[in-house]
Amino acid sequence: MKQAGEDESPSAFSSTTDLNDNPPKTGLKISVPIASALRRVFAKGYGAADVRADLMAGVVVGIVALPLSMALAIAVGAPPQHGLYTAIVAGASVALFGGCKFQVTGPTAAFVVILAPIVTKHGISGLLMAGFMAGILLIAMGVARLGSFIQFIPHPVTTGFTAGIATVIATLQIKDVLGLQVGPMPEHYVEKIAALWQARGSASIVELGVAGTTLALLVFLPRIIKKVPAPLIAIGFVAAATAALHAFFPSFSVATIGSRFHTMVNGVEVAGIPAIIPSPALPWGSGGLTFALIRDLFPAAFAIAMLGAIESLLSAVIADGMTNTKHDPNAELVGLGIGNLLAPIFGGIAATGALARTATNIRAGARSPFAAVTHAVVVLLAILCLAPLVAYIPMASLAALLLLVAWNMSELHSVIGLVKVAPRSDVFVLATCFVLTVFFDMVIAVSVGFVLAALLFMRRMSELMESHLTLDGSRDGSMLPLPPGVILYEINGPLFFGAAQKAMRALDTARGDSFSVLIIHLGRVTAIDATGLVALEQAVATVLRSKKKVILAGPLPRPHSIFEKAKLETKYPGLSITKDLAAAAVLAEQLVAPGAATPPPSSAQLRAHSRVA
């Protein structure tokens, strides 16, 4: 997902990037995947030139992250300093403990839809607690080696989520873009729209002008000035201009971070963000940790963990493509979990890998995770040294920045292209995820999205399975002569719970035919599960009850142990299992021979009956 209007083309990554960075294979096996990126850096050597490159890249990314982190915290409903604390703590810890050398972690727009309702229901302490619980889930996912499973989520699901999130973020910015005097925003989307509409009379042309100026600068400055981050120039210029206008014309006034947010520090009220280092505290606050709180926050924590894993690993994959490297997905999940465990202790909100900041990090010449650590230090120094200046940043400017983030996130061209060319089932999945994200909440959307992904996968797999009933043995150009009274039933593809009934359905038409022996060829079945075995047993039992013989022709599908444990020949007298189709044809000819309804088992037959190991 793009942010801050940055060009995410992979055409300009630094030539100093390691082009053959794969996880080393050593005899030492670490049970918990952790800090693999940092270990790879030290294994390859880290010198003074690398330090200089990381410092420069970290400064650039830190400048980009500063306004974004504040804007995203405000969008969630938290004071801006909580976004900065996230960039500091999660940004440094995930870099040190994760599995991607170039990943930059912090608050992202994807979480706004999940986190905003938590603040409404449970306040800041609930927000911190949900992120803390998500950190535990992410560590468990990494230790369980689930990093590679994220790639199986279909593109329509993630596209629907992303477009829905972008729509909600853009809607939330209307308040500050127009300077609307709205009380606490309702929880649901339709109610938010109604509240904004009711406050339309308080719209300010001045706030709209500030937002429009900032947005124009954010869009056009990167085309002229490429070395300095556009948000620094755009927001800095607009903040200075509005402050100067207010000084000369006191009637000119716009909402700023300083006018909107206040913090008590040692009994003194501070406008904007406090210039102090965040101190550690329990994330669940003074209310105490209760099972009821955990139960209420668990669905949101699960959604944060799932979406965070998707976002972070997607960012890592794109970073791999830009640098021709390879990340460790399991270590990345563990690092992300550690970051989300530590950040709430210091007042940070949920964090994940930020694609735009990661891409900026790579283009700026980053060589190791220390670039992301430097970015965290830059944000910390900005809090300590520049907090009074941050108070002058207009709220409308931050809203304009998030409008651009939402536009880039939506990837409208990708949505339109998918709708034009994708099957209707994929379009339905995309639309469902979009609607659920916008009009309900992200927890429901994530849950339903994963179910739809599973159903879509099962349908695709069942479509790969085909069955064929033949009387003459011809199939795919090969001629297998079958004696009269023998029919062949072939199954191609996986025989699992999504396709088992379909695979056996054609046998219903053959049960009334005049045959004595049925050969079921399983040699082209790639895999079988318990449901497939039950369907196979039911078909075999039905044919055997009609006084006919059944032969299962191998090679048997995997896992072979399922047939060894089932003991089908013992369980179903009249059933035989052969090693291949040719052996099955020989046995079938013996079974239908006159006077050989029950032929004695010869040595040749015993060999033909041998199972596949």
CA separation for the pair 153, 425 (Å, rounded): 15
Distance between CA atoms of 467 and 195, rounded to whole angstroms? 58
- Distances in whole angstroms, Cα of residue 291 to Cα of each of 40, 194, 296: 41, 35, 9
Q: What is the mean pLDDT of residues 307-326?
A: 89
State the total domains in the chain: 2
pLDDT tens across 333-379, in order?
A: 999 999 999 999 999 999 999 988 999 999 899 999 999 999 999 99
Is residue 359 included in any domain, yes or no?
yes
In DSSP terms, 558 is beta-bridged to 527
Q: Let me know: does 520 contact 553? Beta carbons within 8 Å.
A: yes
Q: How many other C-beta atoms are found inside a 10 Å radius of the C-beta of residue 93?
A: 25
CA distance linking residue 341 with residue 133, whole number of Å: 8
- Selected residue with higher pLDDT from 6 and 109: 109
Q: Answer with the residue of higher pLDDT: 378 or 468.
A: 378
User: Beta strands 517-521 and 262-265: pairing type?
Assistant: unpaired
Lowest mean pLDDT segment, chosen from 84-88, 286-290, 360-364, 538-542 = 286-290
Same domain, 421 and 559: no
Which has more pLDDT, 6 or 566?
566
Does the pLDDT value for residue 93 go beyond 70?
yes
pLDDT at 298 over 80: yes
Kindly state whether residues 421 and 480 are assigned to the same domain: no
Q: Helix and strand tally (H, E) in the chain?
A: 24, 11
Give percent of the chain with pLDDT exceeding 90: 43
pLDDT range class, residue 161, cuts 50, 70, 90: confident
Does residue 435 surpass a pLDDT of 70? yes
Is residue 482 one of the residues assigned to a domain? Answer: yes
Is 430:416 a contact under the CB 8 Å cutoff? no
User: What is the average pLDDT across 108-114?
Assistant: 89
Name the domain boundary from 405, 429, 457.
457
Is residue 42 assigned to a domain?
A: no
Inside any domain, residue 478:
yes
Record the pTM: 0.75
In a domain, 16, yes or no: no
Amino acid at 448: V
- Cβ atoms 33, 330 nearer than 8 A: yes
Cβ-based neighbour number of residue 379 at 10 Å:
27
Q: Is residue 503 domain-shared with residue 479, that is, in the same domain?
A: yes
Q: What is the DSSP letter of 493?
A: S
Which is it for strands 517-521 and 575-578: parallel, antiparallel or unpaired?
A: unpaired
Domain co-membership, 489 together with 444: no
Phi, psi torsion values for 490, nearest 5 degrees: -105, 140
Three-class DSSP category at 107:
coil
- Residue 382, pLDDT > 90, answer yes
Residue type, 47: G
Q: Which residues pair with 352 in a beta bridge?
A: 106
User: Which is higher by pLDDT, 370 or 412?
Assistant: 370
Of 185-189, 385-389, 605-609, the range with the lowest mean pLDDT is: 605-609
Question: Is residue 67 assigned to a domain?
Answer: yes
Q: Could you give the count of Cα atoms lying within 13 Å of 434 in the half-sphere of its Cβ?
A: 17
Statement: residue 210 has pLDDT above 50: yes
Whether the Cβ atoms of residue 112 and residue 68 lie closer than 8 Å to each other: no
Assess whether 226 and 187 both reside in one domain. yes
Higher local confidence (pLDDT), 340 or 558? 340
Q: What pLDDT is recorded for position 609?
A: 37
- Hey, CA dihedral for 426, 427, 430, 431, is it positive or negative? negative
Which has the minimum average pLDDT: 89-98, 137-146, 470-479, 551-560? 470-479
SS (H, E, C) 349-366: CCCEECHHHHHHHHHCCC
Distances (CA, A) of 520 to 343, 470, 472, 566, 588: 59, 11, 14, 17, 11
The SS3 assignment for 492 reads strand
* Residue 534 scores a pLDDT above 90: no
Distances (CA, A) of 84 to 3, 220, 304, 350: 17, 27, 19, 12
How far apart are the C-alpha atoms of 604 and 608, rounded to whole Å? Answer: 6
Residue 343 counted as domain residue = yes
Rounded to whole angstroms, the Cα distance separating 365 from 371 reads: 9
Determine the Cα–Cα distance for residues 188 and 437; give it in Å rounded to an integer. 11
Residue 110: C-alpha distances to residues 3, 114, 127, 159, 174 (Å)? 11, 8, 15, 12, 18
Contact criterion met (CB below 8 Å) for 99 and 332:
yes
How large is the C-alpha radius of gyration of the chain? 31
- Mean pLDDT within 278-300: 88
Give the residue from 457, 480, 501 where a domain finishes.
Answer: 457
Look at residue 600 and tell me whether its pLDDT is greater than 60: no
Q: What is the mean pLDDT of the chain?
A: 84
Pairing label, strands 549-553, 575-578: parallel
Q: How far apart are CA 24 and CA 18, in angstroms?
A: 14
Query: Is the pLDDT reported for residue 38 higher than 70?
Result: yes
Residue 513 shares a structural domain with residue 391: no
Q: Are residues 418 and 483 in the same domain?
A: no
Proportion of the chain above pLDDT 70, given as a percent: 85
State phi, psi for 472 to the nearest 5 degrees: -110, -5
Number of residues that this document lists for the chain: 613
The lowest-confidence range among 41-45, 344-348, 437-441, 442-446 is 442-446
Residue 269's pLDDT is 85
3 state DSSP class of 303: helix
Distance CA 81, CA 541 (A): 69
Are 418 and 534 in a shared domain? no
Chosen domain end from 440, 457, 474: 457
SS3 353: strand
Q: Are residues 231 and 85 in the same domain?
A: yes
Whether residue 570 is predicted with pLDDT greater than 80 in this model: the reply is: yes
Structural domain of 483: 466-608
Span 480-496, mean pLDDT? 81
Q: Give me the pLDDT at residue 264, please.
A: 79
CATH number, domain of 484, equals: 3.30.750.24
**Rounded to an integer, what distance in angstroms lies between the CA atom of residue 540 and that of residue 292?**
52
Same domain, 426 and 477: no
Give me the pLDDT at residue 213, please: 96
Residue 34 resides in a domain: no
- φ, ψ dihedrals at 549, nearest 5°: -100, 150
Q: Do 479 and 431 reside in the same domain of the chain?
A: no
Q: Point out the least confidently predicted range of 138-147, 192-201, 252-261, 597-606.
A: 597-606
Q: How far apart are CA 436 and CA 55, in angstroms?
A: 42
CA distances from residue 195 to 176, 381, 393 in whole angstroms, order as listed:
13, 39, 25
Q: How far apart are CA 448 and CA 161, in angstroms?
A: 11
Are 254 and 116 part of one and the same domain? yes
More confidently predicted of 181 and 425? 181
Whole-angstrom Cα distance, residue 449 to residue 436? Answer: 9
Mean predicted confidence (pLDDT) in 290-314: 91
For the CA atoms of 571, 573, 574, 579, the dihedral, rounded to the nearest 10 degrees, stands at 50
